[in-house]
């Protein structure tokens, strides 16, 4: 009866760490809390099998961890079989068994650790291998002895008597430095920015930040930290409660949105919120059109923007017939057509698989190399490590940490306080005393004795 129901609700909310939330409106919950609520509502009917379909796609790293801790607890119960569909390999370390699918076929079905050691199989299946595992695979260890985690990696590294070459590591740090010196004048200057929403919530609390021409800046922080609120000030979508924001040397409050859009282009997190035309080229032509450009100029810009995102010749297609990764590219192209100086990307890799994430970010890098200033809001940490130059960590409406990506990722405790975890290869390098950003860098600085 009713008592049993109340007991059951209390129990499942406890299982997903939502005790005390019984009377909250779901709309006021964070993304991770909503996901936990969804799991609780399924657990309440006491299923024998629980299937989670990419349960952590839009969550920040700590929200992800929360979901996987729940999964861990459930795994220890004998009465529930857990099936998780996932493309983040770091999240599968606790599984008992992994099945890898490629083009509708099962290409592997083995104990989890065995599958995770099969670096080549994962790469062929467009799945990102674990970084520490790939590092040791490239160093020629046989499959059965490959470490999987940073901790296992450090132990293996030391056991083999390998070391990090201080000289080669210094070269990496010096390259960071010379890149820092190569940036141009400030394109965005934020000074004492405070933003209060009408309901009194203080979303930003005294933020100072300068972005210079040519930078590739990642803005990090857990959901609700204020990072999206911050970038919405750069193109005038939001106005400061206190403080100033300059774009192109002029206050955002004194420029119309159209002129600001010429300086700062914004690509939304979900391309489907941005796309509204029937054909790809109409979508991309929208910005130039409302700026009153002539037909041939518009056509030239559409062609140029589509070429920049590798969608040339596909202007007549319906955007909604494209894959998510392709729609993301259409959204980028529609902003590029206006030729803004600064491009803001909000979570550019969400919902894309590894191969799509790589090609999306390679595209963004090539735009940066061609002169665009890039600001990416993201919590996909390997993307930050391998693509961004600088990073700013937003925590509770303030900037808690900023610097080169290497400097920021070296501060693991500070990151943890902001609910962020660096990628495995970064933790591995940090544990050895040398912050590296990618498997390639780690290979470059390794010296084998003898």
pLDDT digits (tens, 9 = 90+) for 80-96: 888 988 878 888 888 99
**With 80 as the cut, is the pLDDT of residue 351 above it?**
no
Whole-number pLDDT of residue 166: 96
Dihedral sign for Cα atoms in the order 164, 166, 171, 176: positive
The gap between the terminal CA atoms of the chain, to the nearest Å, is 73
In this structure, CATH architecture of domain 173-419: 3-Layer(aba) Sandwich (3.40)
pLDDT, position 115: 97
Over residues 10-37, mean pLDDT: 85
For the chain, what is the mean pLDDT? 91
Mean pLDDT of 215-234: 91
Percent of the chain with pLDDT over 70: 100
* pLDDT (0 to 100) of residue 20: 84
> What is residue 255's three-state secondary structure?
coil
Query: Where do runs of H (alpha helix) occur along 203-310?
Result: 227-234, 257-263, 280-290, 295-308
Residues of the chain with CATH 3.40.50.300: 2-86, 173-419
Tally the residues of the chain. 450
26 within 8 A of 34, measured Cβ to Cβ: yes
Whether residue 403 is predicted with pLDDT greater than 90 in this model: the reply is yes
Bridge partner residues of 373 (DSSP): 342
Pairwise CA distance, residues 441 & 449, whole Å = 18
Give the phi and the psi of residue 324 in degrees, each rounded to 5.
-60, -40
Query: pLDDT value at position 30?
Result: 77
Residue 55 has a pLDDT of 82
Burial of 408 (0-12, 13-18, 19+ CB in 10 A): buried
- Give the rounded percent of residues in the chain with a pLDDT score beyond 90: 56
Quick one: average pLDDT of 216-226?
A: 89
237/252 Cα distance (integer angstroms) = 10
Work out the number of other CB atoms within 10 angstroms of the CB of residue 111: 12
Q: Which of 270, 279, 290, 337 is nearest to 309 (CA)?
A: 337
Architecture of domain 2-86: 3-Layer(aba) Sandwich (3.40)
């Amino acid at each position: 009866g009713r008592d049993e129901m109340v007991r059951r609700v209390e129990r499942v909310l406890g299982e997903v760490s939502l005790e005390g939330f019984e009377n909250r409106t779901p709309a006021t919950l964070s993304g991770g809390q909503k996901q936990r609520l969804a799991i609780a509502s399924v657990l309440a009917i006491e299923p024998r099998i629980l299937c989670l379909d990419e349960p952590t796609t839009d969550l920040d790293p700590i929200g992800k961890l929360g979901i996987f801790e729940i999964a861990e607890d459930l795994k220890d119960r004998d009465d529930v079989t857990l099936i998780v569909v996932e493309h983040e390999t770091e999240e599968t370390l606790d599984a008992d068994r992994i099945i890898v699918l490629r083009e509708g076929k099962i290409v592997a079905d083995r104990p989890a650790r065995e599958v995770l050691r099969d670096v080549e199989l994962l790469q062929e299946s467009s799945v990102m291998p674990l970084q520490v595992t790939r590092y040791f695979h490239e160093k020629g260890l046989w499959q059965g002895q490959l470490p999987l985690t940073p901790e296992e990696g450090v132990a293996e590294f030391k056991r083999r008597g390998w070391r990090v070459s201080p000289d080669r590591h210094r070269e990496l740090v010096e390259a960071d430095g010379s890149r820092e010196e190569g940036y141009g004048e400030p394109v965005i200057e934020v000074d004492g920015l405070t933003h209060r929403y009408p309901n009194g919530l203080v979303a930003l609390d005294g933020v100072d930040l300068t972005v210079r021409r040519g930078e590739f800046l990642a803005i990090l922080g857990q959901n609700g930290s204020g990072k999206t609120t911050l970038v919405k000030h750069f193109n005038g979508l939001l106005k400061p409660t206190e403080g100033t924001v300059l774009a192109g040397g002029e206050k955002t409050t004194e420029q119309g949105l159209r002129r600001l859009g010429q300086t700062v282009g914004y690509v939304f997190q979900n391309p489907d919120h941005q796309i509204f035309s029937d054909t790809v080229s109409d979508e991309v032509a929208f910005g130039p059109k409302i700026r009153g450009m002539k037909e041939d100029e518009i056509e030239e810009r559409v062609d140029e923007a589509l070429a920049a995102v590798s969608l040339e010749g596909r202007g007549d297609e319906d955007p909604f017939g494209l894959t998510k990764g392709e729609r993301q590219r259409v959204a980028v192209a529609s902003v590029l057509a206006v030729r803004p100086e600064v491009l803001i990307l909000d979570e550019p890799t969400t919902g894309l698989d590894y191969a799509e994430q790589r090609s999306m970010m390679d595209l963004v890098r090539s735009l940066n190399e061609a002169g665009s200033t890039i600001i990416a809001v993201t919590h996909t940490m390997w993307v930050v490590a391998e693509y961004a130059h600088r990073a700013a960590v937003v925590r509770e409406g303030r900037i808690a940490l900023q610097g080169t990506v290497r400097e920021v990722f070296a501060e693991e405790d500070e990151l943890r306080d902001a609910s962020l975890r660096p990628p495995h290869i970064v933790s591995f390098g940090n544990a050895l005393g040398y912050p590296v950003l990618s498997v390639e860098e780690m290979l470059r600085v390794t010296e084998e004795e003898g």
